[in-house]
Chains A and B, each alone.
Chain A
């Protein structure tokens, strides 16, 4: 159907005039320079990845409260590509721990040439394999996760940190745009809510190994088109890790008044 161009044009009204006429103008919140951190900022600054938990279980209603914050996370096209699996059964948590440790052991023995005897043929071949894999999967094969995999394989580090509750974040692979980003935003809501409730959390990327186990997928209800995107461990932290730490500053390109500045 042909529509006159004039009819297609959006009517230009000044939104601020409209709110004024309606007598319903919103107020501009004034935050003075140098104001102290507010409650939300405080939570963001004090949140840490907690890897040592007390044995006490987290009350179920607090987990529900956190997931409720996840439910209200923004997502691309409001597609909400998430589904949650909450595990509070210590036998299941031990089971997924053992499976992920096993996968780390396999991965480590396939790629960790650094732990093989110097000058050996095995080390020579493994190094070539690892370098090739590194080039193909530069994100997964970053030296930091690789050293994590080695530490888990050697039993120096746990996958789920013996937390009393583990939340799996499942992602609908059909999500709009870039669904892993939505999972990240959803999980951020969850971990910040947890921090505000006095709970410690940690993101567990190695939980993705579970996608490789048909048995665990069936048991946990992970079916197409869903996959495990991330996991979050939850529990009460040991000690009070609330001391604010120093971190790197990052480059900020700042464009204003026709000038570009670089700030940190």
Chain B
């Protein structure tokens, strides 16, 4: 009994193939973002940037073609307006496929 097939166990994904290596992504809700800039400062990988939207307001966004979000979620934790959330966590094909994971959830009280 194994959760990974023989083929999967032998398959090490290509780092540069976004189909095989899906890295963490965060999404910014522009309605809620108040342009405080803190998320762009705390991001250790410099993935977020500030831009001016159509109404002349400063907003944060994920840079295009960025490499290197390390899924630290500090942008999410520092956002006081609740505008940032993880859109998906990393996952890989083959040997590194994530197992036994359920839905995302905030801390639950039992």
- Any B CB within 8 A of the CB of A208: no
Give B25-63 interface residues, CB cut-off 8 Å to A: 38, 41-42, 44-46
Contact yes or no, B102 A161, CB < 8 A? no
Contact yes or no, A244 B73, CB < 8 A? no
CA distance A114 to B14 in the complex (A): 8
With a cutoff of 8 Å between Cβ atoms, the chain A residues found around residue B105 in the complex are 246-247, 249
Contact yes or no, A241 B78, CB < 8 A? yes
Contacts A45-B107, A51-B44, A249-B105 given: A138-B95 contact, CB under 8 Å? yes
- Any B CB within 8 A of the CB of A4: no
CA distance A223 to B104 in the complex (A): 44
Contact yes or no, B12 A245, CB < 8 A? no
Most chain B CB within 10 A, of A35, A45, A245, is at A245
Contact yes or no, B41 A239, CB < 8 A? yes
Whose C-beta in chain B lies nearest to the C-beta of A138? Answer: B95
Q: Which one of A60-68, A98-106, A145-153 is at the B interface?
A: A145-153
B41 to chain A, nearest CB (A): 6
CA distance A68 to B42 in the complex (A): 29
B110 to chain A, nearest CB (A): 7
Contacts A148-B70, A239-B78, A249-B102 given: A51-B23 contact, CB under 8 Å? no
- Any B CB within 8 A of the CB of A157: yes
Whose C-beta in chain B lies nearest to the C-beta of A146? Answer: B15
Most chain B CB within 10 A, of A50, A150, A243, is at A243
Contact yes or no, A151 B78, CB < 8 A? no
Contact with B along A235-257 (1 / 0, CB 8 A): 00011111111111111000000
- Any B CB within 8 A of the CB of A156: yes
A124 to chain B, nearest CB (A): 13
Contact yes or no, B15 A250, CB < 8 A? no
* Interface residue tally on B, bucketed by range: 35 or more
CA distance A150 to B67 in the complex (A): 10
B20 to chain A, nearest CB (A): 9
Contact yes or no, A245 B16, CB < 8 A? no
Whose C-beta in chain B lies nearest to the C-beta of A35? Answer: B109
Contact yes or no, A238 B45, CB < 8 A? no
Contacts A143-B92, A147-B68 given: A49-B23 contact, CB under 8 Å? no
Contacts A146-B15, A238-B42 given: A246-B23 contact, CB under 8 Å? no
- Any B CB within 8 A of the CB of A33: yes
- Any B CB within 8 A of the CB of A48: yes
With a cutoff of 8 Å between Cβ atoms, the chain A residues found around residue B104 in the complex are 246-249
CA distance A238 to B80 in the complex (A): 14
- Any B CB within 8 A of the CB of A188: no
A24 to chain B, nearest CB (A): 31
With a cutoff of 8 Å between Cβ atoms, the chain A residues found around residue B73 in the complex are 48, 245
- Any B CB within 8 A of the CB of A142: yes
CA distance A192 to B74 in the complex (A): 17
20 more A-B contacts (CB under 8 A) besides A147-B70, A251-B100?
A33-B110, A37-B109, A48-B73, A51-B74, A52-B74, A138-B95, A141-B12, A143-B15, A143-B92, A150-B67, A150-B68, A157-B45, A238-B41, A238-B42, A239-B38, A239-B78, A240-B78, A241-B74, A241-B78, A245-B77
Per CB-CB distance, the 7 closest pairs between chain A and chain B, nearest first, are A114-B16, A264-B102, A249-B102, A251-B100, A51-B44, A241-B77, A241-B78
